[in-house]
Amino acid sequence: MGPLEGVKVVEFAGIGPAPIVGMLLADLGAKVVLIERKVMNSNAATVDPAAMGKAALFKRGKQSITLNLSQSNDVEAALSLVADSDVLVEGFRPGVMERLGIGPEVCLQKNPKLIYGRMTGWGQTGPLAPSAGHDLNFSAITGALFYGSLPGDIPFPTPTLQGDVGGGSMSLALGILSALFHVNKTGKGQVVDAAISDGVIYNMMLLASLREQGVINDGKRNDFFSGAAPWCSTYRCADDRFVTVQALEPKFYQELISICGFGDDQDFTDQYDSSCWEAAKKKMSAFFGSRTQAECCSILEGTDACFAPVLNLAEAANYPHNQARESFICIDGVLQPAPAPKFSLTKQVVGRIPTLGEHNEDVLGPLGLYYKSKLSD
């Protein structure tokens, strides 16, 4: 099994990045009990996870139970599970868990070794903490969104990656694993307050370093990360597909221009002479624009020119490198990302997606709580 075998997690169902955290822990071998609502949430922005069926990929490998947390019997059942767990994961607005009677103070009193993981957009404190928001909003105040488009274009990131998953899920997962290491040394649990906005800002460390060096600027955005440089951009092919090049280092740049036939062209002589970039980029655009994506791949793929085609998810799953790495898996006919990273010793086994309340008796029965939870139906 995975490296987290033996770790017990209780997750309170929600949307956004918190369910991804539970999935990450389950993929790593933890036993994750997912507490879901007995009825669908009519206020959800998207389809309720309970009704998503095989599309609820973030539920894979978890055990699903249903509780009505407005009922005292079911709150008691939830607290009994918490008392016997190592980690709690929740993604509600600040104050919701406290109002339900399952806040950090109550839970840590019952289980002093508990890691109480909290996932929100703005964090538990601060002026925006009680406000609603989503991935795009949380990224907007961090500075990251400003740099996420070409000059003059409307900033818009790849959906969910920058904020929800990159800034949120990964941040809380790292916090939980760090807190588990700490509790094993000290016997003391703690609250992990993960804000998507904080996580996105933390992920900007390299960008902040480049900005300090003057490589990236806040003004006209004519730096090479803005797409202005011919050797760091995305190009349209003859078949309206796209390819990318990012040959930052001089030796890789030389390989790129040599393969493309510009090795002796004066516009390509000095890689970092921005006065030549416009002319050089027009020539590079013509090179790629006169060839299909497949033809470009046949010329540049596998070289040190720092080249790759732009693929959709289905194409990515069939891409030879991804297939060799087994980066995608198919469970019950549903294509989905495989766990990452890969471990040399602890083999990860991805579990299937449970049905709603599938494990009520298995999870609640041994604790003597199955009958009590049914009284709340």
DSSP per-residue letters across 215-246? SS-SSS--SGGGT-STTEEEEE-TTS-EEEEE
Q: What is the pLDDT of residue 42?
A: 56
Residue 34's nearest CA partner among 87, 97, 107 is 87
Q: What is the pLDDT of residue 195?
A: 97
Q: What is the pLDDT of residue 257?
A: 98
Q: What is the pLDDT of residue 169?
A: 97
Residue 183's nearest CA partner among 276, 238, 132, 116 is 116
- CB under 8 Å, gap of 24 or more: what pairs does 224-230 form? 224/248, 225/147, 226/150, 226/151, 227/150, 227/151, 228/151, 228/274, 228/277, 228/278, 228/281, 229/274, 229/277, 229/281, 230/268, 230/277, 230/280, 230/281, 230/283, 230/284
Q: What is the pLDDT of residue 349?
A: 85
**CA–CA separation, 32 vs 10, rounded Å?**
6
Q: What is the pLDDT of residue 151?
A: 74
For 200-222, give the DSSP string.
HHHHTHHHHHHHHHTSS-SSS--
Q: What is the pLDDT of residue 371?
A: 56
What is the value of pTM for the model shown? 0.92
Catalytic residue list:
134, 164
Residues of the chain with CATH 3.30.1540.10: 224-312
| Low pLDDT (below 70) residues in the chain | 40-51, 220-221, 370-377
Q: Which CATH class is domain 224-312?
A: alpha beta
Residues with Cβ within 8 Å of residue 315, at least 6 apart in sequence: none
β-strand 232-236 against 87-90: which pairing, if any?
unpaired
Give kind and range of the element (H or E) at residue 19.
Answer: helix 17-27
Residues of the chain with CATH 3.40.50.10540: 8-203+343-374
Q: What is the pLDDT of residue 99?
A: 97
**CA–CA separation, 264 vs 258, rounded Å?**
8
Q: What is the pLDDT of residue 68?
A: 94
Bond from prior residue into 341 cis (ω within 30 degrees of 0): yes
Residues 179/113, Cβ–Cβ less than 8 Å:
no
Quote the tokens at residue 200: 């996105």
Count of all residues that appear for the chain in the document: 377
| CA dihedral for 360, 364, 366, 368, sign (positive or negative) | negative
Q: What is the CA radius of gyration of the chain?
A: 25
Q: Which CATH code is given to the segment(s) 8-203+343-374?
A: 3.40.50.10540
**CA–CA separation, 105 vs 203, rounded Å?**
30
**CA–CA separation, 369 vs 80, rounded Å?**
9
Q: What is the pLDDT of residue 146?
A: 85
Q: 3-state SS of the chain: helix, strand, coil percent to 5?
A: 45, 15, 45
Quote the tokens at residue 17: 């990045």
